[in-house]
Structure 1
């Protein structure tokens, strides 16, 4: 197929804020995990699929629950509200845990 350009599991995008390697970021409507540390405005590779340990809010999460990105606090949460859906939690985590494993759902 002549119009195929990439598999799309990762994309090179512009960091909207400083992002540590392995941290999540919301770039427009696309959520990804940075492969390397990026300064604001730097272009780098963001992974869009797979399972990742991400910083989470202070609340407990249930296995299989929907995971959302809180772009203000830059953490994953089980609270929908105005947050962006990014995937599902692969394991339960107690309140106070600082990370949770999330299986990303590719954007759209």
Structure 2
């Protein structure tokens, strides 16, 4: 197949702001987790778009496995609150209230 570009597990997209390795970002309508530290606008930033990752979350929420998880771009945390946020995947483990992080299976789709 001559038109194949890449598998898409990771993609190269400019960083929308400065990020450290493991931090999430919404790049247009695609969510990814930074593979390294990148400066704002870095055109060579690489992002994990699928798989299970641990992300910072809204502490005062309890999550259950399979629950939809959204990205709060203002606070740069994962959340179970849909309103005003972007769907990024689903919880893969219980996350207590309170807790700082939660495990999320990334959708890998543009929304």
TM range (shorter): over 0.9
Q: Could you say which residue in structure 2 is the equivalent of 1:71?
A: 73
Q: Could you say which residue in structure 1 is the equivalent of 2:17?
A: 17
Q: Which runs of 5+ in 2 are unaligned?
A: none
TM-score (norm. length: structure 1): 0.96
Q: Distance in 2 between matches of 1:11 and 1:104?
A: 14
What's the CA shift for 1:12? Answer: 0.7
Q: Distance in 1 between matches of 2:96 and 2:6?
A: 38
TM-score (norm. length: structure 2): 0.93
Q: Which runs of 5+ in 1 are unaligned?
A: none
Q: Distance in 2 between matches of 1:63 and 1:8?
A: 25
Asked if 1:93 corresponds to 2:89, the answer is no
Structure 1 outlier segments of 4+, above 4 Å: none
User: Aligned Cα RMSD in Å?
Assistant: 0.9
Matched pairs, number: 108
Q: Distance in 1 between matches of 2:89 and 2:40?
A: 25
